[in-house]
Chains A and B, each alone.
Chain A
Amino acid sequence: MRERRIDIRTVVGLALVAALVFAVPVLTSDRYLLKVLTFVGVNVIIVTGMALLFGYAGQVSLGHAAFYGIGAYTSAYVVSSLGWPWLTGVVLAVVLTCAGGLLLALPSLRLKGHYLAMATLGFGEIMRVVFVEARGVTGGPDGFSGIPFASVGGLTIDSAGGNYWLIWGVAAVVLAFAANLVRSRAGRAMRALHGSESGALACGIDLTGLKVRVFVISAALAGLAGALYAHVVGFISPSTFSLHVSVLLVAMAVLGGTRSLAGPVLATVLLTMIPFADAVIPGLSRSALEMIQEWQEDVYGLTIIAVLLFVPGGLAGALRRVSGWGRRAE
């Protein structure tokens, strides 16, 4: 029972981190930094879903950028072109990505093997073409511009700080729900599935149903993040939702490690900041930044390889080993 009780130090630590995260707009007026950290928050929302899917249920998706894009374009279209309220756009984006996730997961998860990875890869490419070609809805390769800021009732969230709080507020709620989930019956079932499929079957766990549910949740979170993102930046284009973003998301989940939410969140912060290194490293030269940006895909690829080879369990595994040493030392 000992490990089920939540450690007081964990609670205090989490509260401090949360306080720090929410204090950022008060502590700095650097709009660029706020924007970059807002992107980090958007990615945290998606990666929370990836952590459940990859880290807990052991499934790989190579197409989550597509759900991210579906969410973004749906909300952009509903709010900008149809003139419906912002909240409607976000809700419809989540509903649509749920449906898309279900349609993709049901056939591919009934089969054993890597069908989900293949199906999501294909789905991502199909959606990339759709984003480019469905000009009437998406604006085609030129992108969709003039997407209005989030607004509820008469209140429009148009400041950099306001958008930061919106995104991180949603991210915090998503993380809290996910943290509850992984400590529940469903979380145990996911870890069981990862541990031994035969054992999970013997416990009466409906493996296909479980995998489908987790996949749909992860798709919905990507859709939610996309919808929020569209209204934060005001402009979206197909390149934001391409295969390399899907790979980046996998890199975050892999670097973050399995059976953990904190690890993937940390990995998301690190990997999202790479192309925006100048926001946190003062005096970083223009050419150095350009070099980082040119090589960023290689950094993601190398990260995946390095973690698989040298850091089994990713950041979460490393954290567990460190705290394990601490416990033994006590």
Chain B
Amino acid sequence: MSLLQVRSVTKRFGGLTAVDDVSFDVFEGAIKAVIGPNGAGKTTLFNILTAFDRPDEGSVMFDAADIVGWPPQRIVRAGIARTFQNTQLFEEMSALENVMTGAHAVTRAGFLSAALRLPWTVREERDVAEEAGRLLRLVGLGQWADAYAADLPHGLRRLLEIARALATKPRLLLLDEPAAGLNTAETAALADALYRIRDRGVTILIVEHDMGLVMEVSDEIVVLDRGAKIAEGPPRLIQKDPAVIAAYLGEEDADEL
């Protein structure tokens, strides 16, 4: 079943067409990758899917609802979560609190009930903290719960952002270059985490430059070049696709394909 349908999405910034008439589907339970040379429009596409940006044309259907024009918080509630290319953690909060904040959309305590410390809000807090602890362990950060986000090493920060995104209880998880800056061991740990997340029933759409990771984990790949989709298919076919190879020629990633 198609969980996400992107149809003819176009986004222009002045004279530049950052995303040019892009259409593709993400099927439930899949890990799908979006790749392409720098400036291909991958992050802009992510921003459109999460309402950080609005498309000029086209539609985005998530679970049969057109989500274009929804505010970000509604999209999160609908079940789309994301991470950022430049991690957007809450530096002065602990890892556990970062993940607990991710549960904002799926919890209820308001200003008044929290100020009065009503019993149900105390229970909700405890449940949120327990779930946040579970998610930290899922991404391998169990022993870092009390550390400030600012004190975490780079590789762990990306995992923390994934745990925070999972706390929103997403059906679709968008990961923007999760392996950037990770060493080989950390990338392998990330791949394991992605499988565990997928096995929990979360569909994953990933933007990534690390071709080894992309080829290993993804079921399907969409290739963008200068905003337009130039190929789509399973990793083996993408690796041999002449248009893809041409797009990457002269790019340092070309030999990695």
Contacts and interface: CB of A to CB of B under 8 A. Distances in A.
B236 interface: no
Interface in A209-234: 213, 217
Contacts of A196: 88-91
Given A192-B93, A192-B101, A204 B116 contact: no
* Residue with the highest number of chain B CB atoms closer than 10 Å, among A1, A178, A196, A204: A204
Interface in A163-221: 177-178, 180-181, 184-189, 191-192, 195-196, 198-206, 213, 217
Interface in B45-98: 50, 52, 71-73, 76-77, 81-84, 88-94, 96-97
Contacts of B168: 203-204
B253 interface: no
Interface stretch (B28-36, B103-111, B178-186): B103-111
Given A202-B82, A203-B104, A204-B73, A184 B90 contact: no
B90 A191 contact: yes
A6 B96 CA distance: 16
Contacts of B52: 198, 201
15 contacts: A1-B129, A184-B115, A188-B101, A191-B90, A192-B101, A195-B91, A202-B72, A202-B82, A202-B84, A203-B167, A204-B73, A204-B106, A204-B168, A205-B73, A205-B105
B104 A204 contact: yes
Contact of A203 (B84, B101, B146): B101
Contact of A181 (B71, B97, B115): B115
B125 interface: yes
A186 B164 contact: no
B114 A186 contact: yes
A204 B146 contact: no
B205 interface: no
Interface residues of B, number: 47
Interface majority SS (helix, strand, loop, mixed), chain A? helix
Nearest to A3: B146
Interface of B: 50, 52, 71-73, 76-77, 81-84, 88-94, 96-97, 100-107, 109-111, 114-117, 121, 124-125, 128-129, 133, 145-146, 164-165, 167-168
B121 A184 contact: yes
A64 interface: no
A4 B129 CA distance: 10
Nearest to A197: B88
B97 A188 contact: yes
Contacts of A199: 84, 88-90, 101, 164
A1 B145 contact: yes
Contact of A198 (B84, B101, B146): B84
Contact of B104 (A1, A4, A181, A205): A205
Contact of B77 (A195, A201, A204): A204
A2 interface: yes
Given A205-B101, A213-B111, 19 more contacts: A180-B114, A181-B114, A184-B114, A184-B125, A185-B107, A186-B110, A186-B114, A189-B101, A191-B97, A195-B90, A199-B88, A199-B90, A200-B101, A201-B72, A202-B76, A202-B82, A203-B164, A203-B168, A205-B104
A140 B122 CA distance: 49
Contact of A191 (B92, B105, B106, B164): B92
A2 to B, nearest CB: 5
B125 A204 contact: no
Given A185-B107, A204-B72, A177 B146 contact: no
Interface of A: 1-4, 177-178, 180-181, 184-189, 191-192, 195-196, 198-206, 213, 217, 259
B111 to A, nearest CB: 5
A203 B121 contact: no
A205 B168 CA distance: 11
Contacts of A2: 146
B122 to A, nearest CB: 9
B129 to A, nearest CB: 7
A180 B101 contact: no
B116 A177 contact: yes
Contacts of A202: 50, 72, 76, 81-84, 88, 164-165
Given A178-B115, A198-B84, A184 B109 contact: yes
Contact of B117 (A180, A188, A217): A180
Given A1-B145, A259-B92, A188 B129 contact: no
A24 to B, nearest CB: 26
B109 to A, nearest CB: 4
Nearest to B94: A3
Contacts of A206: 71, 73
Q: In the A-B complex, list the 10 residue pairs whose CB atoms are closest, starting with the nearest.
A: A204-B105, A204-B76, A184-B114, A195-B90, A199-B88, A177-B115, A196-B88, A198-B88, A201-B72, A185-B109
A175 to B, nearest CB: 11
A201 B121 contact: no
Contacts of A180: 114-117
Contacts of A195: 89-93
Contacts of A191: 90, 92-93, 97
Contacts of A178: 115
A209 to B, nearest CB: 8
Nearest to B106: A204
Contacts of B133: 1
